[in-house]
C-alpha cells in the first residue's frame, strides 16, 4: 500500500489493485478538489470513496464525478453500498 501526505501532515492509503501511478494521481486529484475534507462528515479525509462502488461499475473507477474524499470511518460504514 502506498501512502500520500497532504499539507496537513496526515496520511491516506492508496490500494494497488490497479496501476499505482494512475490510481495515486486520481486519488490526489480527488483529495485536492475536495480540500482533504470528508464530503460526508467534514472530518479530515484519508481515503477516496466511490459513490457507485467499483464492484458495481468498474468502468467508473477513474471517473471524477463518481469519487469524493472520505474519512476512514465514513468509507468503512458505506462498504459496497450505494448511498
Q: Is the pTM of this model over 0.95?
A: no
Give the list of residues 6+ apart from residue 10 with CB closer than 8 angstroms, or none: 36, 44, 46
Per-residue pLDDT, averaged over 23-31, amounts to 96
Are β-strands 12-14 and 2-4 bridged in parallel, bridged antiparallel, or unpaired? antiparallel
Banded model confidence at residue 20, pLDDT cuts 50, 70, 90: confident
pLDDT at 1 over 90: no
Amino acid at each position: 500500500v502506498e501512502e500520500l501526505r497532504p499539507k496537513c501532515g496526515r496520511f491516506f492509503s492508496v490500494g494497488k489493485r490497479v496501476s499505482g501511478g494512475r490510481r495515486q494521481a486520481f486519488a490526489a486529484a480527488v483529495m485536492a478538489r475536495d480540500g482533504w475534507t470528508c464530503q460526508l462528515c467534514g472530518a479530515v479525509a484519508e481515503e477516496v470513496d466511490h459513490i457507485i462502488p467499483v464492484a458495481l461499475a468498474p468502468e467508473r473507477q477513474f471517473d471524477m464525478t463518481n469519487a469524493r474524499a472520505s474519512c476512514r470511518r465514513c468509507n468503512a460504514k458505506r462498504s459496497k453500498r450505494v448511498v
